[in-house]
Structure 1
Amino acid sequence: MILFSLSLCLLGFVLIALNMPKHYEQICQRKGQWHKASLWLGYAILLAAIYPCYLTLGMSIGIALWLTLLTFASLIIMFFLSYKGKVIIPLTLVSLLLSAGLLAQQSLLA
């Protein structure tokens, strides 16, 4: 659940970054920007990332974990935007697929 929440944080920050023309150019290697709806979708996904933390550890520790995951995800995105922008989208997709697979495996075993 925690890895899934981290993946949601990564996805949310990527959608927010894609809405900025400078970061869009770094990630997609062309000029432009995504639709404004991606900004609000990114914010919604960041807020939705709190739910797996809440389910795993309760409200108080879940919020603290969520804030920690937001910080960690923003550091990952910041690092890759600084050095390898075009790696961000594959990294986010792989982390989502991996965490969803682990989440499905965990629910099958329980």
Structure 2
Amino acid sequence: MILNTDGNITIITQETATPIQLVQKIEASYAKIKNDNIIVNLSSLNKVTLDNIIEFLQLSNTHRKSKHSFIIVSDKINLDETPDEIVVVPTLKEAYDIVEMEEMERDLGF
């Protein structure tokens, strides 16, 4: 797991761990990143399944309740199959755009 910080955004890049292992690693280091918007980049994986995405659901819900963005980046999943409760986008650029839009919504009180 590689952590890169860009302002108030932490980008977590998948190396070799499985999604389950990645979720466990994120939960273990969550105290360090809990006040940031989080982007989980799964672009390096050859195959991403719906079950892989669902592994992040509880972590995403917890983080979003604390008024921060949690976004997964993967172009290997059918976005129509993903649950509405979790944000999945195909590119890192789109993830940054979502963070920006969600911050504006929070600033406006939505």
Taking structure 1 as the reference length, the TM-score comes to 0.30
Question: Which structure has the larger Rg?
Answer: 1
Report the structure, 1 or 2, having the larger helix content: 1
Taking structure 2 as the reference length, the TM-score comes to 0.30
Report the structure, 1 or 2, having the larger strand content: 2
